[in-house]
Amino acid sequence: MRNFRFTTAAILALTVSAQVASAQMGTRFPSERKVIQDPVTGTELVFLTSQAGKGDHKIYQTHNQWTADGQWLVFRSERVPGEAIAANEQTGEMVQVTEGGYTGMLNVSRKEMKLYISRPHLDKKQAKQLAEYNREMAEIRARMQAEGKSFSRENMPQPKTEKPVYGMEYVAIDLEALFADSAAGKLKKAAEYETVLGVTPAEWGGGAISALDGDEKMAFFAVGKEYAASQAGDMEIYGGYGTRGMGAGPSGLAYMDLATGQCRYIRTLPFQVGHIQGNPWQGGEVIFCWETGGKAPVRMWAMNADGSDYRPLYKETEYDWITHEAVITRDEVAFAMLGHRAISEMQQAVDKTGDPENPGQETGWGYCGTREYATGLGIVNMRTRELTLAGQIPFGSGFWHVAGSADGNWVAGDDFARNLYLIDRNTHEMILLTTGHKTTAQDHPHPTFSPDGTKIEIQSAMLSEDGRSLNICIVKIPQHLLDRYNKKQ
């Protein structure tokens, strides 16, 4: 039987009665670029998108956002449903860089003008079955959301339609050729810019691309629970944790060799794996977390691509609430040590389950995350295991998402009020960089430094009339601060 590849966009189209053709890869959109000064701090803000309701979201803050030439930023958008867009930082012009959708993380190469994506590898029958499964799952999610229930693989009801078993196709997109042809108005078919690298084993489950390793020779991905269990041997498997009952294992990690398309299983993990990162400065090293939807017994982990040196990065105490780790230099991971729970309320066992602006207040997490113990923006050295605290704001819940410059001079963090702070790692001076970046209750600015360490990308609803629609924003680090380390914008 002939095997057909159905893309994510095609799958979604099968779930609705009217099909809308997606725009062609390379389609250009007019600039929305606006440059303003933060009304409080005076920091220069460059908004690369500024329209409401376009579904703009930056790539998650653990990943590279800029193309290898430093001129374009890639982001998720619904300008063309299910597709990714790149915006030129200087001109604001936008170009569609995928066609037919993608599943998993957008991975922008630091070394070449390439974008790596994954998408389902399906025949016609599987595509129809998956479309029906997705439709039923969307209905279940909508019903759970209306009932105020959280989503986890432990409590999610299963649709009547069984999810088909399929692999994920990995694709490299030639951005240099695409941008050149788009500018010249001489676009070719999408396949001319794509190189199919391989397909993950269907029986492994999961398979969506998560992260590139530092040498960009392999791409890491999570596998399904069933296959991970089959490879667990006599490993002790952990159950759900905390008030949401999430985090139960097993799960597993694997990678695809991007040169050969061959996949290798690394190892089974006794817990549910969450955010996965490669180390951009150390080939073959993968960093990941135990995802519980809140506090984990030990959140941050790392190992080599061959499964060796499997280890926790920081063995937190029962009083620590660790979250949102990000690799910031070859040897360091930054993370938030939350101080979001009041000591008095923990003592009085007050339950705050319905506070979307300040989650994690449920007393079932235990006595942790208060400022009775150390909190702030933490940095752990992956080689020596030494911990330092860069700083902490003396109010609110503390830092929430963190980032750092590769030169080791700066770290940054957003807080629950959507402010962005910069900390000089050498002097520990803390500077309010920009404020007023409204987002939804479920989202945050999610800062990421540029490779040269002179600016930070965030997502912001500052310009949105509805106070919710996100835009892509570049925060320029003031030149007088960069002058400390002989850096230029």
Closest to 376 measured CA to CA, from 407, 415, 345: 415
- 194, pLDDT greater than 80: yes
- 345, pLDDT greater than 80: no
Weakest mean pLDDT among 133-137, 352-356, 430-434: 352-356
CB 223 within 8 A of CB 253: yes
Q: pLDDT tier at 466 (50, 70, 90 boundaries)? A: confident
Q: What percent of the chain has pLDDT over 70?
A: 92
Which tens digits make up the pLDDT trace of 363-393?
788 889 999 999 999 999 999 999 999 999 9
Higher pLDDT, 148 or 96: 96
**Which domains occur in the chain, in start order?**
210-312 (no CATH), 321-489 (2.130.10.10)
In the prediction, which pLDDT does 363 show?
79
- Going by C-beta distance under 8 Å and a sequence separation of 6 or more, which residues neighbour residue 289? 273, 274, 275, 296, 299, 300, 301, 325
Instruction: Provide the mean pLDDT of the chain.
Output: 91
Stated as kind and residue range, the H or E segment containing 142 is: helix 124-146
Give me the mean pLDDT over the 267-296 stretch. 97
- 350, pLDDT greater than 60: no
CA dist., res. 9 & res. 194, Å (int) = 17
- 287, pLDDT greater than 70: yes
In the prediction, which pLDDT does 217 show?
98
CB 176 within 8 A of CB 182: no
Give me the mean pLDDT over the 57-63 stretch. 97
In the prediction, which pLDDT does 245 show?
87
Amino acid at 184: A
Give me the mean pLDDT over the 269-290 stretch. 97
- 359, pLDDT greater than 80: no
In the prediction, which pLDDT does 373 show?
95
Question: Full-prediction pTM beyond 0.85?
Answer: yes
Closest to 190 measured CA to CA, from 201, 178, 198: 178
Instruction: Give Cα separations from 30 to 49, 96, 417 (angstroms).
Output: 10, 12, 32
Structure tokens at 86: 């790149």
CA dist., res. 277 & res. 279, Å (int) = 7
CB 85 within 8 A of CB 77: yes
CB 211 within 8 A of CB 118: no
